[in-house]
Amino acid sequence: MNKKKSLLVGILLPLLTLLSLKPFWAAEAESSFLDEFETFDSTKWGCIGDPNGKWSAENGVLIMEGQDQRITSTKKFRYATFQTKISLLAQEDGVTYYYLGFVNRENWLAGKDCDSITLMSEDGMSFKLDVKKSGQKLARIPIDVTFFKGAWHTIEIVWTPSAIKVLIDEEVMAEYTDVENIPDTFLSAFIDECHLKKGKCLMQVDYVKVRGGEVKGEKAGRQERNP
């Protein structure tokens, strides 16, 4: 009887341990990627943008200023959570676009169709969840939120095989659940601010964190500016 019990315990314990494990995309382990911008680290980010613009890190805050400033992480992720804390200052004399989330870095920089999962704004105040696969727009979901100039907000994009969720200040604001069309390739974290008329736009970033999911390391970043 004791041998039978021991055998049963030996079978059940590993099974119970296995069942208790979370899937890799739900892992809440240490951050796969974290930048608190004590300095601008070009091993973590590749950049492209306005030659007259600037990236600067002051007091742990990244300041992106110019006509078209973009940073993309040199690491790539799949089924992960993107989190950042930002403050936006849109301009009055033109159209300002802000994007943040995940994108296929190489195709995007080359102007090719690509997968992307982004929170986007056309005015620095109202936002939409934008999902694309091979450049095809699959969703553009309006989000009922207003960002006031200069106010700080925490944003999360939670990307899993079954859903994409956007949380703003810890509240779920949008969800995309078309499982067949959720991007499944490795994507870089990115932030983009673009002003299409006169003047400059300004974005302040407190930190960027990516956690959970799968990670691919990349070689050191470099400055990639428009001609």
Top-confidence residue, 53 or 60: 60
Q: How many CA atoms lie within 13 A of 132 on its CB side?
A: 21
Query: Global pTM?
Result: 0.79
The pLDDT value given to residue 122: 77
Average pLDDT over residues 166-192: 94
Tell which residue, 59, 121, 118, has the closest CA to residue 89: 121
pLDDT score at 50: 57
The residues facing 72 across adjacent strands are 46, 190
CATH number for the region 26-216 comes to 2.60.120.200
Classify 95 as helix, strand or coil. coil
Largest CA distance in the chain: 84
Band of pLDDT at residue 34, cut at 50, 70 and 90: very high
pLDDT value at 25 more than 60: no
pLDDT at site 28: 41
Q: What pLDDT, in 10s, does the model give residues 145-171? A: 877 778 899 999 999 999 999 999 999
What average pLDDT does the chain have? 78
Q: Can you point out the beta strands (E) in the chain?
A: 31-35, 45-49, 54-58, 61-66, 68-78, 81-89, 96-103, 116-121, 127-133, 136-143, 152-159, 164-168, 171-176, 187-195, 201-211, 214-216
Residue 188: closest CA among 92, 68, 108: 108
How much is the average pLDDT of 6-19?
49
15 CB neighbour count, 10 Å cutoff: 9
Answer yes or no: are the C-beta atoms of 171 and 199 closer than 8 Å.
no
DSSP letters, 113-149, are ---EEEEEESSSS-EEEEEEETTEEEEEEEE---PPT
Where do the domains of the chain lie? 26-216
